[in-house]
Amino acid sequence: MARVRLARGADPMWEILHSVHALGSTTGDEVFGRWRRRCLRSSIRGLGALTLMAPALGYSPDFLTPASGSLDLDAGIDAVLSTPRRQLRDDLGRITGLRRYPPWLADLAAARPGVVRELGALLRRYFRAGLAAEWAQIRAQVNEELLRCGRNLAVGGVKHLLATVSPWIRPDGDALVLAGKPGTVDIHLHGRGLVLQPSFFAYDDVSVLRVPDQPVVLAYPVRHRLDWCSASAAGAPERQLATLMGRTRSHALRLLATDERTTSELAGCLGLSIASASHAARVLRDAGLVVSDQQGKAVVHRASMLGHTLLGQPAGKH
């Protein structure tokens, strides 16, 4: 119980996997219908290969969602492409329902460099076409769920958190019982720890990742907003933030939420003079959105807890 922890935010690899599942399913049309129809109309090149490798029902290869987790697409894809050959072969061999093994899948199982590189290109292509435009909405709803989990943890501890995290998860003694699976599935952690990973594209189910010597990962559905993919919602957080504080200051706040920067570094990123960057940072600091520290001769800026909250990121990520 002492090793139960929350994920840091939306993991692009889990969202890729669960969104491919959603494309191959007809469930959850009230949530995913508009997005699903748009993606299928766009004819994403290589989508058939992804849906074959990650079917809506049944096993999907563990290597597609690295246990290390990441908030960064490139880091996640690099972890996928670094999968040892033996795991590639074993994971792909567990896919059921294939009438024949496509040659490219056999080449991937053999870790042929060209095919492995093509998998990385396919994952990036799919993310750009299917998820990038909606990523702010996806990330915000995952972060809302993490904030809710944090409140439940503070109120009642780990047992209360596990009892309230999802209707598909039920703590029972030293085990977790998963509902909705064929038969009864008990998960015993044996001291390995547990990561709770909310996933926007998960729906009516819980995915379990069990990798030797790594914490068990439970990816479960968030509470979905039904209008998330409407024309008015798409891109709304960015537009609203820019309207509220101006494009330059909103851009500066987003930069300082990803990493701390000196005034000169901030100026270079924004294409401003040092004086203008210093003024933008001071306005954000006066509003409580940025914290600034003197380090030697330089002033270093980073987003405050309030700044992260305004951006829809988990509180305390700074």
The model's pLDDT over 248-261, given as tens digits with 9 standing for 90+, comes to: 888 899 889 878 89
- The Cβ of residue 286 has, within 10 Å, a number of other Cβ atoms equal to 9
pLDDT tens digits along 56-71: 888 899 999 999 899 8
Domain extents in the chain: 4-221, 236-310
3-state class (DSSP) for residue 209: strand
pLDDT tier for residue 124 given thresholds of 50, 70 and 90: very high
Instruction: Determine the pLDDT at residue 66.
Output: 94
pLDDT tens digits along 92-113: 888 866 666 678 888 888 888 8
Instruction: Determine the pLDDT at residue 98.
Output: 65
Decide if pLDDT at 234 tops 80. Answer: no
Q: In what order do the strands lie in the sheet with 194-199?
A: 4-6, 194-199, 216-221, 207-209
Mean pLDDT of 130-150: 87
More confident residue, 234 or 282: 282
Which range is least confidently modeled, 112-116, 145-149, 172-176?
172-176
3-state class (DSSP) for residue 199: strand
As a whole number, the mean pLDDT across the chain is 85
pTM exceeding the 0.75 threshold for the entire prediction: no
Instruction: Determine the pLDDT at residue 109.
Output: 87
Question: What letter represents residue 283's amino acid?
Answer: V
Number of separate helices (H) and strands (E) present in the chain:
13, 10
What contacts 178, CB < 8 A, 6 or more positions away?
168, 169, 170, 185, 186, 187, 206, 208
Fold for the domain defined by 236-310: Arc Repressor Mutant, subunit A (1.10.10)
How many Å is the maximal CA-CA distance in the chain?
67
217: tokens are 């990962």
